[in-house]
């Protein structure tokens, strides 16, 4: 027998992503003696992580010997899996690189002199949720 819930709604804070939980409900008319209704139909819920991580911060770009060096602050998200780096130069951003969570810098060796590039970075968690883009950082090789 479970513990009576005296007022709705009930929030189960014990569930974790990746788990499946099933519930039934009964109405108790009296606790002493116990008088309760039949159980409702069982309802099962697959718990999924649908919350994206926070966007990365501190993205900056510096020219380095024919390349553009990007650096950023490490994410503090506990379920961080990787970063995605995007680059644009006059159009929509395109994915430039997918980087491990332990990396906080990248050398863009494909940047061309005289072209202004706009970079953004996202964080991706272990469930595949992608953050919104970081603030853009601008870079240009002389």
Distance, in Å, from the CA atom of 101 to the CA atom of 96, rounded to the nearest integer, reads 16
In a domain, 6, yes or no: no
What are the tens digits of pLDDT across the range 103-118? 999 999 999 999 999 9
The encoded tokens of residue 77 equal 């998200």
Q: How far is CA 139 from the centre of its chain?
A: 27
Give the C-alpha distances (Å, rounded to integers) separating 13 from 5, 6, 16, 21, 47.
14, 17, 8, 12, 11
Q: Are residues 43 and 110 in the same domain?
A: no
State the residue range of the domain holding 32: 13-48
Tracing tokens 């991580």 back to the chain, one arrives at 53
Predicted confidence band at 26 (pLDDT cuts at 50, 70, 90)? confident
What are the tens digits of pLDDT across the range 117-126? 999 999 999 9
In a domain, 77, yes or no: yes
Q: Are residues 125 and 77 in contact, defined by beta-carbon separation less than 8 angstroms?
A: yes
What are the tens digits of pLDDT across the range 47-84? 999 999 999 999 999 999 999 999 999 999 999 999 99
Q: Are residues 23 and 85 in the same domain?
A: no
**Paired residues of 98 in beta bridges:** 84
In a domain, 7, yes or no: no
Q: How many CB atoms lie within 10 A of CB 110?
A: 10
How many distinct structural domains can be found in the chain? 2
Per-residue pLDDT at 25 exceeds 60: yes
Per-residue pLDDT at 5 exceeds 70: no
Per-residue pLDDT at 133 exceeds 80: yes
Q: How far is CA 80 from the centre of its chain?
A: 7
Predicted confidence band at 8 (pLDDT cuts at 50, 70, 90)? confident
Q: What is the pLDDT of residue 62?
A: 97
Q: Are residues 40 and 24 in contact, defined by beta-carbon separation less than 8 angstroms?
A: yes
Contacts of 25 (CB under 8 A, 6+ apart): 39, 40
Mean pLDDT of the chain: 92
The pTM of the full predicted model, rounded to 2 decimals, is: 0.77
């Amino acid at each position: 027998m479970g513990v009576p819930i005296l007022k709705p709604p009930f929030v189960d804070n014990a569930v974790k992503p990746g788990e499946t939980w099933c519930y039934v409900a009964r109405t108790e008319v009296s606790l002493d003696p116990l008088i309760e209704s039949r159980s409702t139909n069982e309802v099962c819920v697959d718990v999924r992580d649908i919350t994206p991580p926070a966007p990365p911060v501190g993205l900056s770009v510096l020219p380095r010997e024919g390349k553009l060096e990007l650096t950023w602050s490490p994410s503090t998200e506990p379920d961080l899996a990787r970063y995605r780096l995007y680059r644009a130069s006059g159009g929509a951003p395109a994915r430039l690189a997918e980087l491990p969570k332990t990396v906080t810098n990248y050398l863009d060796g494909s940047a061309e002199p005289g072209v202004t590039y706009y970079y953004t970075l996202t964080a991706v968690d272990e469930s595949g949720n992608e953050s919104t883009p970081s603030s853009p950082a601008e870079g240009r090789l002389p």
